[in-house]
Amino acid sequence: MLMHDPPHPGEVLKELCLEPLGLTVTDAAKALGVSRKTLSMVVNGRAGISPEMAIRLSIAFDTSAESWLNQQIQFDLWQAEQHRSELKVERLSAA
């Protein structure tokens, strides 16, 4: 079942991981081994969580990579569902 309008995982990262620890994007990016620009794009919802980023986050914050990827999937699917009626698809069935 889809969550109703789930937050972008970058928002979750910012609010539940970075802010409570008093981390800046610059400091967190350094600790994660990524560029500030890369992490900023995720935190600001302009980029998604890749499998590699999910692993980095799981190591840094003692979480599971699957939880980060699941958040991304829920967000992406919700966004796509908002345009379901615009899709030109024919239903297929066995004869």
Q: What CATH number is given to the structural domain containing 76?
A: 1.10.260.40
Question: How many domains are contained in the chain?
Answer: 1
Q: Is residue 15 a part of any domain in this protein?
A: yes
Q: Is residue 88 a part of any domain in this protein?
A: no
Length of the chain: 95
pTM (2 decimals)?
0.91
pLDDT digit string, tens, across residues 45-77: 999 999 999 999 999 999 999 999 999 999 999
Q: Is residue 68 a part of any domain in this protein?
A: yes
Report angle CA 39, 16, 22 to the nearest 5 degrees.
75
Q: Is residue 32 a part of any domain in this protein?
A: yes
Amino acid (one-letter) located at 8 = H
Q: Is residue 77 a part of any domain in this protein?
A: yes
Which residues have CB under 8 Å from 35's CB, separation 6+? 29
> Domain limits at 66?
9-82
Q: Is residue 93 a part of any domain in this protein?
A: no
Question: What Cα–Cα distance (Å) separates residue 91 from each residue in 1, 12, 73, 79, 82?
Answer: 22, 37, 24, 22, 19
